[in-house]
Amino acid sequence: MTRIIDRRFDSKKKSAVNRQRFMRRFKQQIRRAVSDAIQDRSIRDLDNGEQISIPSKDLSEPQFQHGRGGVWEQVFSGNDQFSSGDLINRPPAGGGGRGQGKASNEGEGEDDFVFHLSREEFLDIFFDDLALPNLIRTQLAKITDYKTQRAGFTADGTPANINIIRSMRGALGRRLALGSPFTVRLRELQKELDEVVEACGEDSPEAIALREEIARVRAKIEAIPFIDSFDLRYNNRIKVPKPTTQAVMFCVMDVSGSMDEEKKATAKRFFMLLYLFLNRTYEHIEVVFIRHHTIAKEVDEDEFFHSRESGGTVVSSALKLMHEVIVSRYARGNWNIYGAQASDGDNWDNDSPICRDLLDTQILPYCQYFAYIEITPGEPQNLWREYEKLMGAHKNFAMQRIEAPADIYPVFRELFKKTLV
């Protein structure tokens, strides 16, 4: 068999280049393996790496080999089991060598290829086709960020930015340019000296005068400085404006008494997944955490996920607080505003119409996207029935139900799947 080996020069990080090439080539197989791996993984462990396996049959590649060539005549021994045209039974399972079935002394095979994904690679694949819906990309929705990038060389700069190779190259060119006339003159004098010595001898006045002239020319060549401040070159770095889109996400969680520990844990897992996604995908994004029972309060991340405060249920308090925060901090027109609300839907009956009205008139007009997640294993609650009335009038509003922790990831992908513009 002939094997073709590519020995062309590659970068010092050749393994990293090959790793990325492998991931691009077998992206579909890796995504399927990641999808299978997250089924049994805790949401808290999503930002870790993962060791996945890819069936070896998916990695097979065509190979070059020499054919037998020519005309072959072979004589095969007969047998007492088969005749021409007989069908041969399939070999028994277990001889493939893939770690399945019983031991066998026949057959050969190849184990699945085990591939370890780093944290960054795992998250890249995990959130590959997700995005914040309806992200505005107009000038009003952008802030100007400045990033430093290389822009050639400059004659002025700090010692930390000096480019040694470019400086030495300039010094060499300067020495060659300044010393070239003296080098030509030195060769001429050396040639004259050889002729005078041959004609008049070593100690003749003419030879002595030529040697003195040669010494003066050599001194001039040696007087040329090896490197001068004029030769120094520095790496030039400039700041380039790069507009980036900014957004804010409101995480609203119901912590009332009707939300038992299992429902609260499910809501926390959903928001942890959302928080990880936002911080992973966008550089300029703010997250506002709001907890509510009868009273709503804006809290920090630690209190949002770990506080044990509870009480009755008045959902409108959270929506009113959200509207106040939007008006006071994010209503200037240069923010993409998103909201995600998690509740069991068990609200005070007279309060649910108020919640619908708040969303309809005061929140959804500001929002690019608002998602309501109802966590309940039974029938939809009164808050869900009120929110359903908003579906036809607002395309930026979505609703999903989570009945068990296993529904968290499918619901999340449905709410934040990437759409074609």
The DSSP bridge pattern shows strands 142-154 and 113-117 to be: unpaired
Q: What is the pLDDT of residue 43?
A: 45
Closest CA relative to residue 26, chosen from 64, 62, 57: 57
Q: What is the pLDDT of residue 357?
A: 93
Where do the structural domains in the chain lie, given as residue ranges? 11-61+113-126, 164-232, 242-415
What confidence category does residue 354 fall into, taking pLDDT thresholds of 50, 70 and 90? very high
Q: What is the pLDDT of residue 139?
A: 37
What confidence category does residue 334 fall into, taking pLDDT thresholds of 50, 70 and 90? confident
Mean per-residue pLDDT of the chain = 77
What's the number of CA atoms in the CB half-sphere (13 Å) around residue 300? 1
**Residue found by looking up tokens 């994004």 in the block:** 285
Q: Judge contact between 273 and 415, C-beta under 8 A.
A: no
Q: What is the pLDDT of residue 92?
A: 63
**Predicted confidence (pLDDT) per residue in 148-172, tens digit:** 778 888 888 888 889 999 899 989 9
**Predicted confidence (pLDDT) per residue in 7-45, tens digit:** 555 545 455 666 666 666 666 666 666 666 655 554 445
Greater pLDDT, 283 or 345: 345
**Predicted confidence (pLDDT) per residue in 195-219, tens digit:** 888 888 888 888 888 888 989 999 9
The pTM of the full predicted model, rounded to 2 decimals, is 0.52
Q: How far apart are CA 19 and CA 13, in angstroms?
A: 10
Identify the CATH homologous superfamily for domain 242-415.
von Willebrand factor, type A domain (3.40.50.410)
Average pLDDT over residues 292-312: 84
Q: What is the pLDDT of residue 360?
A: 92
Q: Judge contact between 170 and 233, C-beta under 8 A.
A: yes
**Predicted confidence (pLDDT) per residue in 237-250, tens digit:** 888 765 556 788 89
Q: Amino acid identity of 328?
A: S
**Predicted confidence (pLDDT) per residue in 222-279, tens digit:** 888 888 888 899 998 888 765 556 788 899 998 888 888 888 888 888 887 787 777 7
| 413 has a pLDDT exceeding 70 | yes
Q: How far apart are CA 176 and CA 22, in angstroms?
A: 49
Q: What is the pLDDT of residue 113?
A: 61
Q: What is the pLDDT of residue 310?
A: 76
**Predicted confidence (pLDDT) per residue in 93-111, tens digit:** 554 444 444 444 444 445 5
Q: What totals of helices (H) and strands (E) does the chain contain, helices first?
A: 11, 10
Greater pLDDT, 362 or 307: 362
**Predicted confidence (pLDDT) per residue in 362-401, tens digit:** 999 988 889 999 998 888 888 898 999 988 888 889 999 9
Q: What is the pLDDT of residue 338?
A: 87
Q: What is the pLDDT of residue 358?
A: 93
| DSSP reduced 3-state for 84 | coil
**Predicted confidence (pLDDT) per residue in 46-96, tens digit:** 555 556 666 665 556 566 777 777 777 766 666 667 677 777 776 665 544
What confidence category does residue 115 fall into, taking pLDDT thresholds of 50, 70 and 90? low
Q: What is the pLDDT of residue 72?
A: 74
Give the helix/strand (H/E) hosting 408: helix 408-415
What confidence category does residue 281 fall into, taking pLDDT thresholds of 50, 70 and 90? low
**Residue found by looking up tokens 């030195």 in the block:** 186
Greater pLDDT, 366 or 140: 366
Q: What is the pLDDT of residue 34?
A: 64
